[in-house]
Structure formats: C-alpha cells, structure tokens
C-alpha cells in the first residue's frame, strides 16, 4: 500500500485533532475529486512499518483524538490488508481513540455488491467508529457540510449500526 500524505494535526477529517492517512489508489474517479493525485496506486510513498510506527506514535499525544483514513480509496482491495493492519494496531494500543474511515463506496456496497465487499472490508468496518460513505457528487457539493463534501454522503455511527442491524447516522453532524 502507498500513501499520498499524512497529516499529523488534522482538524478537517473527523472530530478534534487527528492523524489522517491518505492512502493511494482509487478506481471511483469522482468528478471534481479533491484528491485526484491519489487515484494512482503508485502515487506517494510505500506505507512501511516505519511509517506505521510514526502514525502510531502520534496517537500517544493526549491532544490527538484519533485516526482518520482517507484516500484515494481505503477499501480498494489492494489497500484493505494494510488499512486493516493499521486499524488493528491503533485499536489495540489506543482503544479510547476514535477511528474514522472515508469511502466512495456506500456502507451497503462494502457489505455486498461491489468489488470492495470482502471479509477484510467487513472487519475494517467492525473496528472503525465512523464511516463517511458515498462518492463525491459535484452536483450535490455543499461546502457547509461537516466532514463531507456532497449531500449524498453519510456519516455513519458504525458501533450503533452494528448493534441495531440498520444504518444509524451520527446525528450530531447533521
């Protein structure tokens, strides 16, 4: 897995101050994507164990509220193993920090009916706290939305969704 960028004090991609990892590789190719460079799976640098250690080390800081994973597309099959490994380690070492993950796939597509629907994708969803889902749609762009770019995108509370068996939106962001 490659990454295009890591932001160590990010306030735009989840609540509080976060460490955000932008993975490389995306086949969704949304029109007017804010991060087109990360469509290329070879963009950026390899996400090595040393880079993973740096990301994990930032989570030790008391003012970092958690980890956000964006792209590119974290749920592209080529990225899933690396994303899962990072999430597992973050959860194990910092169980009280939240993990947000962004995807152009909808929650339903991640469970079945898309190239990203794998057992690994299910495990990633189970471990994360928040999923921001859905492809960016230029015609639904709304710069006043919290933590998302277009009105079709949802902010899903994955713990409540798992418990209820139905998608539960994180209402505090609407």
pLDDT band at residue 161 using 50, 70 and 90 as cut-offs = very high
Q: What would the mean pLDDT of 70-85 be, rounded to a whole number?
A: 97
Question: Looking at residue 141, what is its pLDDT?
Answer: 94
Say yes or no to pLDDT of 29 above 90.
no
138-147 pLDDT per residue, tens: 999 999 999 9
Question: Looking at residue 77, what is its pLDDT?
Answer: 97
91-137 pLDDT per residue, tens: 999 999 999 999 999 999 999 989 999 999 999 999 999 999 999 99
d(CA 122, CA 149): 24
DSSP-assigned letter for residue 137: -
DSSP letters for 35-103? TGGGGSTTSSEE--HHHHHHHHHHTTSTTEEEEEEESS-TTSHHHHHHHHHHHHHHHHH-TTSEEEEEE
pLDDT band at residue 47 using 50, 70 and 90 as cut-offs = very high
49-68 pLDDT per residue, tens: 999 999 999 999 999 999 99
Q: What would the mean pLDDT of 5-31 be, rounded to a whole number?
A: 95
pTM value > 0.85: yes
Say yes or no to pLDDT of 31 above 90.
no
């Amino acid at each position: 897995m490659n990454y295009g960028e890591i932001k160590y004090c990010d306030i735009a991609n989840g609540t509080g101050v976060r460490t955000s990892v932008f993975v490389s590789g995306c086949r969704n190719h949304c029109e007017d994507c804010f991060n087109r460079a990360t469509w290329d799976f070879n963009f950026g640098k390899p996400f090595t164990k040393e880079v993973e250690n740096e990301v994990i080390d930032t989570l030790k800081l008391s003012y970092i509220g958690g980890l956000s994973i964006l792209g590119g597309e974290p749920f592209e099959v080529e990225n899933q193993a690396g994303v899962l490994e990072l999430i597992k380690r973050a959860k194990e070492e910092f169980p009280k920090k939240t993990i947000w993950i962004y995807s152009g796939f909808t929650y339903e597509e991640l469970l079945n009916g898309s190239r990203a629907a794998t057992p690994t994708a299910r495990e990633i969803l189970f471990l994360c706290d928040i999923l921001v889902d859905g492809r960016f749609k230029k015609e639904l762009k709304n710069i006043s939305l919290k933590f998302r770019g277009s009105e079709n995108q949802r902010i899903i509370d994955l713990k409540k969704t798992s418990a209820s068996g139905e998608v539960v939106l994180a209402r505090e962001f609407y």
